[in-house]
Amino acid sequence: MTDDIPDLPGYVSTKEAAKLLGVSERRVRLYIEMKRLPAVRAADVLMIPLEDVKNFQRKIVGRPRKNTLAWRISSAENTQFVTAISVQIRANQEKTLLKRLEEIKSSGQYVFPGTVARYFFKE
């Protein structure tokens, strides 16, 4: 490719289109190959109609959620609640406690509706 980009009114280069769309120049070229963006070649440079770049709609990536996870649902007033559990352990029993907490976590018993964060503190 050359660095001489022609000045065509109403057209932008792939580099300019990438900046406008917030994607890489390579992604813009892929959009052109997939026929999602029209382009013309001028002086060995791909030029894209500016109007098409402005109207371009990026597709949502990934699988859409069908339902909201229980821990993401806020209460009616969006009030935050805190549940604190303090545990005193005997000497040399820390490994047993951590093993039991991991068992509870893997079984799913630790999930409370509306939970947004979980913390473990050690004093």
CATH of the domain at 46: 1.10.1660.10
In angstroms, the CA 42 to CA 72 distance is 51
Residues 46 and 72 in one domain: no
What is the pLDDT, as a whole number, of residue 76? 65
pLDDT given for residue 94 in this prediction: 85
Q: What value does the mean pLDDT take over residues 90-95?
A: 86
* Confidence at residue 58, expressed as pLDDT on a 0 to 100 scale: 81
Question: Is residue 31 over pLDDT 50?
Answer: yes
| Between 93 and 43, residue with greater pLDDT | 93
Q: Which residue has the tokens 């894209």?
A: 48
Domain that holds residue 76: 65-123
**CB distance 47 to 8 below 8 Å:** yes
Q: Is the pLDDT of residue 102 over 70?
A: yes
Predicted pLDDT at 75 = 60
**Same-domain status, 71 and 47:** no
State the Cα torsion 96-98-99-100 to the nearest 10°: 90
Are 39 and 20 part of one and the same domain?
yes
The verdict on residue 1 lying in a domain is: no
Residue 4 lies in a domain: no
Is residue 94 included in any domain, yes or no? yes
More confidently predicted of 33 and 42: 33
